[in-house]
Amino acid sequence: MDSVPAQTHQGYKEAGVASASHSLTSSTSLPAKVESRTAVMEALEDIVYGSAAGIVGKYIEYPFDTVKVRLQSQPDHLPLRYTGPLDCFRQSIRADGFLGLYRGITAPLVGAALENSSLFFFERIGRGLIYSCGFAAPNTELSLSALWFTGGFAGAFTSFILTPVELVKCKIQVPDEPGGKPRQLKPIPVIKEIWRHEGLRGFWHGQMGTLIREAGGCAAWFGSKETTSKWFRERNEKALLKRGGSQEDLLESRDKALPLWQQAIAGASAGMSYNFLFFPADTVKSRMQTSPLGGSAEGGGGATKKTTFVEETRALWKQAGIKGFYRGCGITVLRSAPSSAFIFMVYDGLKKYFPMA
């Protein structure tokens, strides 16, 4: 079987478009500005369409994310407030109503737009680096290992953008601080409070956990999506040949997007891989980011210094063992399936039907 670059959400392997562009440039000697404009428009697509996809996904997953954070952030010096996800849902709805599960969604919507646009943008940059450094020939399909690398590259850079947003989100989502002190429910007061107590540096509290989760998780996110998509393409091609399809039919099928249900499964597998594999790092991060401002108040004592990632990990292990690191994991993996499916479907659909480049 001839090796033909497969179509992906990034468009690097849209061989027909790339060939036509190369032919047109070489035959008419167009200035380099054309290629620059195309690159700029592709980057703009990543930002605009990635933002739109992220917002859609956030509306789907946010109630489950609120429950996850509340389960993760239960203090280790007090009895557990929730026995599990269903109990947390029940208590939360009884206390604040269903809309209470969407409390503080403004900051996460901004964060979702920033996160997904950054991920797709930096993932494109990662692909470009692989091609420009000569690890892959132009207009050829990247290996799956290279795709996992570009995902990790994107996640690492995105983590620095995401940590401040996650910090504000977590502080709003948890009902109250240890000792019964009510938390702020709006982003601006929370931002002011963080600035007053800890300055600019305080907005990156929990950065290590975000970095581990995003770098590893996004490698799995992009890698799983592409791995599953590739499996579906090969399956579809075999089915086409069994039906008596010609080589022309085979080549034509590679230029078409996967059926919607296959795109959904590929996106769902990406979300589940992202959330499950590095969930312990996310748990430690949530505990760090929901601690009282100005230090820990364990045991009712005075404020002490903030715990580090390693210190928080040790404390959680001592309190609950391995199970403590996976509080809320089931509900998180469950909600990530439809959320990620919609993110990729919206992003791919916008790029296909409303191309800017």
In order of 12, 162, 225, 260, 337, the CA distances from 144 in angstroms are 14, 26, 10, 22, 21
User: pLDDT tens across 59-98, in order?
Assistant: 988 888 888 888 887 776 677 788 888 898 899 898 888 8
In order of 18, 170, 356, the CA distances from 223 in angstroms are 23, 28, 26
Give the list of residues 6+ apart from residue 258 with CB closer than 8 angstroms, or none: 229, 232, 233, 236, 266
Share of the chain above pLDDT 90, in %: 43
What's 11's DSSP letter? -
Give the number of C-alpha atoms closer than 13 A to the C-alpha of residue 20, restricted to the C-beta side.
Answer: 5
**pTM of the predicted protein model:** 0.75
User: pLDDT tens across 149-179, in order?
Assistant: 999 999 999 999 999 988 988 888 776 555 5
Overall average pLDDT of the 321-344 stretch: 90
